[in-house]
Amino acid sequence: MILSTLLMLVAVDMLLANFYGLFPMEIWDANTTSLLFRAAMWSGFVWYLIPYKSLAAKSVASIFFLTQVLDLLQYQMPSIGKDIMMMLSFVAFAPMMGYAAFRRYSLPSDDLVDSHVCIIARRPDRFTGFLASVFGQPFGRYAYYVNGAVFHFHHGKFKMTYGDHYPIADATIIKTNIKVTGKVREQFARSIGSRWSLWNNCVTMRLRNVHQ
């Protein structure tokens, strides 16, 4: 898949590099637009190549890709639009790049305890988890340890697994301030069998059941 994507991008790059007539504008503007488009395209491909486990590099690459897209859009706008986009680039993307480069990508791990809800957090392994990790904690997958039981999504469905059958070797344990009570266990148990969606996933589950 990577090879086919690379070949397609090379073909598009060669097309953009040699056929400025694709852009309905003066030759100088067409040349600049071609260069900006190619820069955005290749920076997006570099982001795609970086594995999710290299979270710091992938985060920086994502911000760089967005700045390239912003530059391309900025060049197509009238003067007032260019000024607004330039201000946006300076005010938003420069701090975002610094945050992505220098934020902490590891946290100390706690011990599992039965008295409190514990979060079993892992690095993201797909795009939705990556989005959740960009501006929050450096994790994209969450499971919840509640008095010996682990509640988590598996193949798109929320389920419960007994703690000794759930691997935690590569996870970070976060002990919350939520004490385990019958009400808390019932909240998690009610969600068993529910399907994954943008509004019902390990991140929103954390917001509903852990941050009370």
pLDDT at 130 exceeding the cut of 70 = yes
Quote the pLDDT of residue 166. 83
Q: Of 102, 137, 162, at which residue does a domain stop?
A: 102
Q: Is residue 140 part of a domain?
A: yes
Greater model confidence, 44 or 3: 44
Per-residue pLDDT reduced to its tens digit, 159-176: 999 877 787 878 899 998
Structural domain of 17? 2-102
Phi, psi of 152 (to 5 degrees): -165, 165
pTM for this predicted structure? 0.72
Domain termination site, one of 102, 132, 157: 102
Of 47, 80, 102, which residue constitutes the final position of a domain?
A: 102
Q: Name the band, by pLDDT with cuts 50, 70 and 90, for residue 208.
A: low
The total of other beta-carbon atoms located within 10 Å of residue 187's CB is: 19
Same domain, 73 and 38: yes
In a domain, 108, yes or no: no
How many folded domains does the chain comprise?
2
Strand ranges inside 93-185, DSSP E: 116-122, 141-146, 149-154, 157-162, 172-179
